A and B are shown apart, each in its own frame.
Chain A
Amino acid sequence: MSSALSREDVAHLANLARISLSEDELDRLGAELPAILDHVAAVQGVVDAAGDVEPMSHPVPVANVFREDVVRPGLTPDEALSGAPASEEQRFLVPKILGEE
């Protein structure tokens, strides 16, 4: 796969990652990332050559790790809000939200 990554691509990725990168940062990442991608893209060839291989998402092969449905003490509202940049009425105060989910 070609790892060509345009400046627009980087800007799009930064937007997905919610980071308002400066013009300089976009330039620099646009220059750095292709070299890194060229290196890491090698994994495809390795996998193609290896044939049928299961992906490993967890280094420890366990399943069914569950918790009983029993209430545990959590945080007080004061603790919960202790790091908040702003709060009001026992809620986290954030700037106006534009998009809707």
Chain B
Amino acid sequence: MSTTTTPVVAFDDAITRYDPVMGLEVHVELNTATKMFCGCPTAFGAEPNTQVCPVCLGLPGALPVVNAKAVESAIRIGLALNCEIAEWCRFARKNYFYPDMPKNFQTSQYDEPIAFDGWIDVQVPAEDGGEPEVFRIEIERAHMEEDTGKSLHVGGATGRIHGADHSLLDYNRAGIPLIEIVTRTIHVPAEKAPAVARAYVTQLRELMLALDVSDARMDQGSLRADVNLSLTPKGSDVLGTRSETKNVNSFRSVERAVRYEVGRHAGILDAGGSVVQETRHFHEADGSTSAGREKSDAEDYRYFPEPDLAPVAPSREWVEQLRGTLPEPPAERRQRLQAEWGFSDLDMRDTVGAGALELVVETVEAGATPAAAKKWWLGELARRANEQGTDLAALPVTPQQVAGVQALIDDGRVNDKLARQVLDGVLAGEGTPEEVVAARGLEVVSDDGALGAAVDRAIEANPDVAQKIRDGKVQAAGALIGSVMKEMRGQADAARVRELVLEKLS
């Protein structure tokens, strides 16, 4: 923590003197049924050590066998990122000791990645609401590897690694297939860097979902971004020392991590110091980063070709067949969706900018109208995500549930106000919209018996108003309706109440 005393410079100030040089490494956990090298299931959240076998526990004598589906997904990701697909490549062992890695080497790829030399165009929304700006991010490589287990640090005050008495290891995640996607160095106008980083990760996630190769849930770690950043003084071409901010777990945090690191590096450089090459941890609470492991030259992974696995040599026929399964390119898809949905340019930009495109797609697929889907995700739900400082996708509600809430409205079973309460219940983990309606008793009353009695009571209590309506002043009905709604605590079918009032007083 040698740099804590140096003040962090404001981002806008920092970029008057320095240009950021960024690189992004994203790890995507594939949604295969089984792990990369063994037949263990990959379900998230299972009881500890229930999805393990000799292979993923690294028991003596165990040997890996490659999951064909994982290779297929890797190739499709590579193709979707406009990469070359290797005609012949191998796995390699990356040797280092860490207790969450059972073999004490990670089976990965080294100088022979399955996909390389690609690109993706990302759209950054213009701040003035104008045309979004497009930046081409070059992809250096996408390679296959395996995830590690999870450690629980026990005894420390915060549950973090420091101060813990001991650690508890669960290897359910060990061996889950990962695709690591590495960009080339990203050079963009300094002020755009944070937004470009965010847009890249956002669009990468959209792509993974469109390919259906990953759940791509940043909150569950199935899509994890590392931000590598260094600064170059303006007008210079001297490369600075870089930091690697690990496992940033929301789009918003990617943007914030870039802003913070730019300011932190600038502070150190302004003071004449030198940046330490190290990994850093991002803190959601205040958007800061703190020092992790120092990267020294002594680090030596001793890569060598994995002798227990045969090389991977995808035939060109297979590659072309997989190319045929690719979803339409994101830009074309957005145009098509915009036309299908009847969205204005602004509607579409807002939707994409909010990271809600896939959510709206799925909500529409689940039966909601595009307008209703957009209303929920960009309105009520966006507000709640913002309150919680999280991404829309991380909210504990599925597009299917949102469509379910809308269906309740469309069927007249709840009104807008009740619908928001149903959503509260869903977000609180009380179950499906139907279950919440039942448990909380939120359904509107449209039963004529109950409503008729309430209308009668309202007429009796407001004889003057009733007389006005009898005299033809239909607009006065609002007061009686209000009275009924109040008595029924908002759970009355307002349209039916109005009909009953008019019937009784005509």
Interface residues of A, Cβ cutoff 8 Å to B = 12, 16, 18, 57-58, 60, 62-77, 80-81, 88-101
Contacts and interface: CB of A to CB of B under 8 A. Distances in A.
Contacts of B293: 99-101
7 contacts: A63-B310, A67-B66, A72-B40, A75-B54, A91-B170, A93-B169, A101-B100
Given A75-B52, A91-B48, A67 B68 contact: yes
Contacts of A16: 300, 302
A67 B35 CA distance: 11
Contacts of B39: 67, 70-74
Given A16-B300, A58-B311, A72 B38 contact: yes
Contact of A97 (B33, B153, B313): B153
Contact of A89 (B48, B50, B313): B48
Interface of B: 32-34, 38-41, 47-54, 56-57, 65-71, 88, 90, 96-101, 104, 148, 151-155, 161, 164-171, 279, 292-293, 298, 300, 302, 305, 307, 309-314
A57 B112 CA distance: 14
Which DSSP category, helix, strand, loop or mixed, fits chain B's interface? loop
B310 A69 contact: no
B69 A90 contact: no
B492 to A, nearest CB: 51
B90 A57 contact: yes
B34 A71 contact: yes
A91 B152 contact: yes
Contacts of A97: 98-99, 151, 153, 161, 164, 167
B110 to A, nearest CB: 12
B52 A65 contact: no
A21 to B, nearest CB: 15
Q: Counting chain A CB atoms within 10 Å of each CB, which of B47, B168, B279, B302 scores highest?
A: B168
Given A58-B311, A67-B39, A67-B67, A72 B169 contact: no
Given A57-B307, A81-B49, A66 B65 contact: yes
* A-B residue pairs, 3 tightest by C-beta: A72-B39, A74-B53, A69-B69
A87 B155 CA distance: 15
A60 B47 CA distance: 40
A66 B68 contact: yes
Contacts of A95: 166-167
Contact of A94 (B69, B167, B298): B167
A62 B90 CA distance: 12
A16 to B, nearest CB: 6
Given A18-B97, A67-B67, A68-B69, 14 more contacts: A12-B298, A63-B310, A65-B66, A67-B65, A68-B68, A72-B34, A72-B39, A89-B168, A91-B48, A92-B169, A93-B168, A94-B166, A100-B293, A101-B293
Nearest to B71: A66
